[in-house]
Amino acid sequence: MVWHKITWSRRVVQVLSFLFLFYGATLLNLKPQEIKWYSLDGKNQKMAELLYANPTWTQPFQTFLPGRSCRFAGTTGTFRGCLMYFLSDTLTWRPPWKVILPSLALLLGLMVLLARFWCGWLCPIGFLSEMLNEARRFTGLARIKFPAWWLATLKAAGYALTAALLFSAWAISWSFVAWSVKKPLYLATCQICPSKLITPLLTGFPVMINLQFPGASTALLVTLFVLLVMFTLLYFSSAVMKRSWCKLCPGGVILSFFNRGSFLTKEKDALRCTKCAICADACPMETLAVYEEKSRVIVDHTQCIQCYRCVDLCPEKKCLTVKFLGLPIFKS
């Protein structure tokens, strides 16, 4: 097995992040708390009663992270939710500034600091997706390669989806919109996110997705069956496309705006590049940006999840360099 130091370091970080975000509260014995975020007005009381029916599912740290710290991790999870959950709830409930300011400041700080580093190193869904791609490679299932225009279309679809989801979260707050319209639109981001299905099943909280079972053994069997079906589908989808959800993920779309100007930069010395295309083949987001760059030093395109596989695998010494605040931390 070839030793790629960045890739292996990243795997260790991904495993730790997965354990912390999914099971941190249990592992560290952190107690869930109930915190009243903001007062609900009479008009929305019916909705509030339904949505906050069981407050014991609040996580120990009542704040949000840019990556997938899923709200559906039940009492085993560590944080209240992810960036999209925060934005959706804020647009829907419109709490006072003083209530959202601490979370907003933390989110903005982390986004500026690390941008899509969250996707590449910390997101549990991205990690699971990469593991299934590794399983595909290990089992010899060939990958289908799509033309660049297809990936560009997906990127545009990701922007459209993000805008539609944020708009729907805001539209729910309009008092003239009927309850029957509001209800299915609530947290629309979560309804389409794979994390909402995967997280409750992996953390032993199928009840979070409205699954009720007559006994523990039935619950276990159904959970294992659903996980098997889902991971089989994801396994085959990785043959069609690596990190398929990440190419559409609304959280990733918002973080992508912070790639340019992030404290972490990826630089290319084009004179050292031999156009071997190893970086293009290694990229989990299937971008050609590093491979194609000829003139700019900083390669900070929006699709990059800052995994640095390109840097790890590039055979040319000092052709690619990762810097934090201008200081080199990894070199090819």
318 near ligand SF4, rule: CB under 6 A? no
What letter represents residue 117's amino acid?
F
Of 44-52, 137-145, 190-198, 277-285, the segment contacting ligand SF4 by CB under 6 A is 277-285
Q: Which is nearer to ligand SF4, 57 or 291 (CB)?
A: 291
Contact indicator for 314, 320 with CB cutoff of 8 Å? yes
The correct pick among 74, 86, 283, 302 for binding ligand SF4 (CB under 6 A) is 283
Given candidates 275, 296, 317, 318, which one binds ligand SF4 under the rule CB under 6 A? 275
Shortest Cβ 269–ligand SF4 spacing (Å) = 9
Q: Does 319 bind ligand SF4 (CB under 6 A)?
A: yes
Specify the 3-state DSSP secondary structure of 93: helix
Number of residues that bind ligand SF4 (CB under 6 A): 26
Q: Check binding of 279 to ligand SF4 (CB under 6 A).
A: yes
* Interface with ligand SF4, residue 165, by CB under 6 A: no
Our finding on whether 304 is near ligand SF4 (CB under 6 A) is yes
Name the minimum Å distance from CB 20 to ligand SF4: 22
291 lines the binding site for ligand SF4 (CB under 6 A): yes
Are 290 and 266 contacting, i.e. CB atoms less than 8 angstroms apart?
yes
> What distances in angstroms separate CA 240 from CA 11, 78, 133, 155, 232, one per listed residue?
23, 33, 10, 16, 13
Strand duo 79-82 + 61-65: pairing: parallel
Closer Cβ to ligand SF4, 132 or 282, answer by number: 282
Gap between the Cα atoms of 136 and 287, Å rounded: 20
DSSP assigned state of 298: B
8 Å CB contact between 297 and 267: yes
**Beta strands at 264-268 and 61-65: parallel, antiparallel or unpaired:** unpaired
Q: Which residue's entry shows tokens 């660049």?
A: 148
Q: Is the Cβ of residue 87 or residue 290 nearer to ligand SF4 in the bound state?
A: 290
Q: Where are the alpha helices (DSSP H) in 241-284?
A: 250-256, 278-282
Alpha carbon distance, N-terminus to C-terminus of the chain: 19
CA–CA dist 233, 215 (Å, integer): 27
Is residue 247 a contact point for ligand SF4 (CB under 6 A)? no
Q: Which of 88, 129, 306, 321 binds ligand SF4 (CB under 6 A)?
A: 306
Q: In terms of CB distance, is 89 or 300 closer to ligand SF4?
A: 300
Instruction: Answer whether 39's CB lies under 8 Å from 12's CB.
Output: no
Rg (CA), the chain: 21
List 278, 300, 302, 321, residue binding ligand SF4 (CB under 6 A): 278
Least Cβ distance, residue 315 to ligand SF4 (angstroms): 6
287 near ligand SF4, rule: CB under 6 A: yes
Whose Cβ is closer to ligand SF4: residue 78's or residue 133's?
Answer: 133
> Among 49-57, 79-87, 251-259, 271-279, which window interacts with ligand SF4 (CB under 6 A)?
271-279
Work out whether 320 is an interface residue with ligand SF4 (CB under 6 A).
yes
Residue among 59 and 306 whose Cβ is closer to ligand SF4 = 306
Residue 262 class from Cβ within 10 Å (0-12 exposed, 13-18 middle, 19+ buried)?
A: buried
Smaller CB distance to ligand SF4: residue 159 or 330?
330
**Residues 117, 120, 126, 127: what is their CA dihedral angle, to the nearest 10 degrees?**
-120
- Does position 277 interact with ligand SF4 (CB under 6 A)? The reply is yes
- Using CB under 6 A as the criterion, which residues of the chain lie in contact with ligand SF4 when the complex forms? 266, 273-279, 282-285, 287, 290-291, 304-310, 314, 316, 319-320
